[in-house]
Structure 1
Amino acid sequence: MATKNISLPAELEAYVDAKVASGEYAHASEVVRDGLRLMMREETEKLEWLRNAIAEGEASMAAGGTLSSKQVDEELAKQREEWLAAQRKPG
């Protein structure tokens, strides 16, 4: 496994140290790896959601369905809020 030296602001350093001190993680590197995995998973889920939204829009357009730009903005804002709410849920 490759070794990287990283600099953390005091707030993140304290968070990492607390996770290790609690026994939840054995080493600081485990905390960082877990955080990076979570970030990768969230990015993948976001891209999947966007691809699905595009596919739905294309299918709707092909079927003759159209929306005004205001309706599009409102729907995207609603769906984005739903997605963000789902990301905040533990699990």
Structure 2
Amino acid sequence: EKRLRGHHSSEETTDPPPHEEVEIPQSQQEEEEEDMVEIVTTGDRDVLHEGHFTSESAQILIGEIMGCNRDLKNIQKNINDVKNKMKNIIDVLERV
């Protein structure tokens, strides 16, 4: 499933967190295939539904939240930068 990502400003210098590969033990994998477990996608990560929620999937979600928080901070910084530019433009126009 492709997801659209927001366009990032050229001012952003942070890199996205590295993707971690997770290997499911064979016995758990076979059990899941038998039970036909539904999997949902959050970003680029797969998380099992409630019945098979593990500390590993919780860590994946925490990583996703941290990534979203980083993105929100970058967006807020960009908003503040634009507000400051607008304020400066208005100040210059008021002098004219």
In which range does the TM-score fall when normalised by the shorter chain? 0.3 to 0.5
TM-score between both structures, scaled by the size of structure 2 = 0.43
Q: Whose Rg is larger?
A: 2
Return the structure number with greater helix share.
Answer: 1
1 or 2 for the larger relative contact order (CA 8 Å, sep ≥6)? 2
Return the structure number with greater strand share.
Answer: 2
TM-score between both structures, scaled by the size of structure 1 = 0.45
